[in-house]
Amino acid sequence: MLKKIKDWIFDLEVRFRNSFGDDISTPYKRFTAHMHLQFIDHMFLRYLWTNEFEIAPGVWRSNQPDPYRLKKFKKRGINTVLNLRGVDTYAHYLFEKEATDALGMTLINRKLYARKAPRPERIMEVLETFDTIERPFVMHCKSGADRAGFASAIYLLDQENAPVAEAKKMLAWKYFHQRYTKTGILDHVLDAYEERINTKGHIPFREWVQTDYDYKGLQKKFNATPMFER
């Protein structure tokens, strides 16, 4: 009974979240989309808290920027934005796309998930983007804690040849990442790579993803691990 009530409340919330915020073509639609951005996507929390850090020369991580902060990036010489939330139909993406177009910035969209082991092809898409992306650039997800942290970690591993221990610092409480929640699956991926190095010797991260990375097995093992053992 309690599960049914919980599922009903969750379904009601999802339907409400998806009922508006997907159109900015008229003044009224822009207003409702702005409300969606502020309160459904929690932009009001990000005006002072940007979770912005430079992880390597000319490489920044951040939470979801609003149009005003995109203008500030532009003034600092950052012309490229890597959006790790992927293309979307809702306000956060619509306003970002509108602003980057108006500013003449390049918006690159890649899709990662915070609570699922990323598929190898999605990791490779991000790594291959790092090969060609114009620097300086900023990468972001919603809060800048999980997906941006994982992308920052694999950037350091792949592009900077950083030790795994150094890369793992990108997923830390400093950035409001919480390992003991479902987002700890991202730590679990890096732990698996580190274990592979410790047991069989060094292998480049990109090669490991293409040959040894078992995202389904890692997800299954993570799901079976008690919360406080993660």
> pLDDT tens-digit profile of 43-90?
999 999 999 999 999 999 999 999 999 999 999 999 999 999 999 999
pLDDT band at 4 (very low <50, low <70, confident <90, very high): low
Mean pLDDT of 204-228: 94
| Among the ranges given (16-30, 60-74, 104-118), the one the predictor scored with the smallest mean pLDDT | 16-30
* pTM to 2 decimal places: 0.94
How many other β-carbons are positioned within 10 Å of the β-carbon of residue 35? Answer: 13
pLDDT value at residue 62:
98
- Between CA 4 and CA 17 the distance in angstroms is 20
Task: Catalogue all structural domains in the chain, each as residue range(s) with its CATH number.
Answer: 41-229 (3.90.190.10)
- Crossing angle of helices 27-35/91-103, nearest 10°? 120
- Between CA 11 and CA 4 the distance in angstroms is 10
- Between CA 175 and CA 179 the distance in angstroms is 11
